[in-house]
Structure 1
Amino acid sequence: MRLFRKMPLRDDTVTYNALVQGFCQSGKLNVAKELFQEMVSISVPPSVMTYGILLDGLCDNGELDKALEILDQMRNMVDDAWDLFCSLSLNKGVKPDVKTYTIMIGGLCKKGSLSEAGMLFRKMGEDGIAPNDCTYNTLIRAQLRGSDISTSVELIEEMKRCGFSADASTINIVMDMLSSGRLDRSFLDMLS
C-alpha cells in the first residue's frame, strides 16, 4: 500500500482491481472494501471484473448481505451503461459497433433481462450491424442458462448459417447440461 500511495498515476481500474483482489485473497476484506469505496469516491470506474473480485471475496467470507448490496450496484452499472448506449444514437456521427452491441447484450443477459437482450439483438440487425460469433455465443449461453432450449437451437442454427461456431464456454455449458440430463445428446451433435 505504501508503494501504491507513492505512485504518481494510481487512479486506474486495473491497479485497483489488482489491489482489491490481493486483499481479498489474503483475507483482508475490510481493506478491499475500503479500496473499493475509495475507487468509487475518486471516480475511478469499477469494471465487471472489480465487482466479480469483490463479490467472490464477500461470498467466500460469508458476507452475503454486503455481496447483495454490491450486486445491486452492479445492476445499476448496467442501467447506467444502457443509458449511455441509448444516448449514442442521439449524438451525430456516433454509431454503436458490433463490439458495443455485444457488450450491452452481455450486460443485459447478466442482469437477467433476456427479452431486452433479444430485442437489442434484433435492433442490431435493423441498424445494419452484423452480429459476430461472440454476440451469438453470448446470447446462446444466456438462453441455455435460462432453460430456453428452443431459442438456443434457433440461435445456433442461425450462427452456423453465418459461418460461426460455438466457443469453449458455450460447449462447457452444453456439456454440463448433458451430464445433468437437462439436454440430450442430439444438442451436442447440432453444435458440431
Structure 2
Amino acid sequence: MKKKNKLTVTSLVAVCLVTIAAPQVFAYSKIGYKLVAGVKDRYYYVGASSLGSNIDAAVSNWNNIDPLTYFWQDQTDVNFIKSSSNSTTQLDFYSDYYGNTGWAGMTYYFDSAGAINSGGYPTKDYTWCQAKLNLSASHNNSWTTIAGHEMGHALGLMHYTNSLMDGDITNGSNLPTGITLDDIDGIRDIY
C-alpha cells in the first residue's frame, strides 16, 4: 500500500511540475506602445453620433470582463468613464460618412505634440486616441463589435486571428463578436 501511495504522490508532483513549467503560448499581438496613463479610471468621449449606444456598449464590454466567463486572474484594469467633453479624455469616438475607404473603423494615436501615425500603428507611447467609425462602410458585424475592435487598438492591440482583434472583423461573420481570452491576455500583458 505504501508503494502505491508513494507512486501516486510522485506522479502527482510530476504532473504539477510539468504544468507549472509549461511555457505560455500567447495568441495576441501587441502594438509595442501603449496609453501613457494606463487604462484604469480613464475617460472617453463620443462625438455627435447615431452610434452612441453602440460605442457605450463596446466600452462597457471592455470595462466589465465577465467574471463568470473568465477566471478572476483574467480580469483587467480597463475602466473608461464617459465624459461630456473631449478636453481631458484618452479615447474619443467619432462616426461619419468617410466614403468608400475600405475600412469600417480606424484608430489614430496622439501625444502632446500631435499625431504620431498616419492611419497606422503608433511609433511610441501615446496620450490619447481617436477612433473613427465609417458609416459608409459595408460590413457583416455590429457597430458595437467594430467600436470594441477599435478600442482594442486604442488599448494597444494589433490584429490577430480568431478574436475581436481579427483584421477581417468587418467581413468575418464567423469571427468572435466579443472580447476573447486572447484579447484579455494581451491587455494584461501590456498594462
**TM bucket, shorter chain:** under 0.3
Q: What's the TM-score once normalised by structure 2's chain length? A: 0.22
Please report the TM-score for the alignment, with normalisation by the length of structure 1. Answer: 0.22
Structure with larger RCO (C-alpha < 8 A, sep 6+): 2
Q: Which has the higher helix share?
A: 1
Structure with the higher fraction of residues in strand conformation: 2
